[in-house]
Amino acid sequence: MLHLASRSPRRSELLARLGLAFGVLDLDVPEVRAEGEPPEDYVRRVAREKAGAGLLQLAGQREAWVLAADTEVVLDDLVFGKPIDAADAARMLRMLAGRAHVVISAVSLVSAARELQVVSKSVVTFGELSPAVLDWYIASGEWQGKAGAYGIQGAAQVFIIHLDGSHSGVMGLPLAETSSLLAQAGMWP
């Protein structure tokens, strides 16, 4: 049985597009970047830790597989996680405005006997953001709970002038890479 270790409705929606039955695990795994840890290593580690925590929660279920993901927005060497408040969200978006940044999504799939992982990197370019547009977006509240203070699937689409990579990866679960992992585990065609 497949279980998704995520509270994200976007990840559940994306995984459901593959037509698989799965359970959802509610986990609270700390997402803290270690000092000097490269952004990709950090994202990989967090995805692996979420999957491992999910597997521990299912201890005793021999056929259990746990899928977990982590997605972060990276500009230069700065990792933009979820903003703590509206001011933090506005700060992040001002830094991203008019620039290209990388969205890294790591996906881990684990069972008691096997561990698989894949990483998706996408380059997202924002146009300039006027103060009025920034105020409009912050007032919408859509930034809440989203790495980098935006979701590609929502109103923030108006910011994006170019995407090189995976749309679903920027949403939080790169489907091409995820389906490949599931195929390796014998759960998808």
The catalytically annotated residue of 70, 77, 88, 164 is 70
Structural domain of 111: 2-185
Residue 102: Cβ-neighbour burial (10 angstroms; 0-12, 13-18, 19+): middle
- Number of domains present in the structure of the chain: 1
CB 147 within 8 A of CB 80: yes
Q: Is 135 a catalytic residue?
A: no
Strand partners for 56: none
> Which CATH number fits the domain that encloses residue 48?
3.90.950.10
CB 150 within 8 A of CB 159: yes
Residue 98 DSSP one-character state: T
- Tens of pLDDT along the chain (189 residues) come to 999 999 899 999 999 999 999 999 999 999 999 999 999 999 999 999 999 999 999 988 889 999 999 999 999 999 999 999 999 999 999 999 999 999 999 999 999 999 999 999 999 999 999 999 999 999 999 999 999 999 999 999 999 999 999 999 999 999 999 999 999 999 999
| Max CA pair span of the chain | 54
